[in-house]
Structure 1
């Protein structure tokens, strides 16, 4: 039997265990079980630990987020020269072209998408969000 099928059978077997059986299984695998009284919660914790042992636990980014309470910053976005972006803002179509060291709109160069988005809207904007390259989520 493959490791994944074995894991699936072990987790499915836990679905039929009562609280006493779950505690016995936890004790067999990990030592003294938590003192909780919820069979469902203990079942989920045990299933997760068994799967994490076999398939790996949290990735590094998730561990950091859990330890610090902060989500990882998204990777930087690099727009290669020649990239063209467009957006409709208040009924006006805005088109920009990314060059080696600037963003060009209507023949005028701007230092960044954010600088341009701020000029267009009159308020501070993240240029990548304004042009839909990066979502707010």
Structure 2
């Protein structure tokens, strides 16, 4: 067996071990591999990031050109929010879909004047709507 094949098998086994870890175990693994864990409480998200990190250690991460392209990707809200555009945000395990119409934003069969009103309805807290839905350019980095 080649060293690369063996490393891939080890990485696969390590990634599979993540499936059995609870939040605290994932945070400990995060500390070991990356540094201080984020305040995220999403077990699924932490598993995915850690699995990617394990794979990147074996196969290499993103090349410089790809990282640069991802950093420069921006969505200009006014250009992106044409009638018919659908915006999706997952919040607390549920996907929330907003459709942009000429007369406003439609969410759960109701018309809203702003994304912020919809974000407030979803979360129960004041949010900047474009930020909540990941549309602000500074949030894309």
Category of TM-score, reference length = shorter chain: 0.3 to 0.5
The TM-score normalised by the length of structure 2 is 0.46
Q: Which has the higher contact order (CA 8 A, sep 6+)?
A: 2
TM-score of the aligned structures, taking structure 1 as reference length:
0.47
Higher fraction of helix: 2
Which has the higher Rg, Structure 1 or Structure 2? Answer: 1
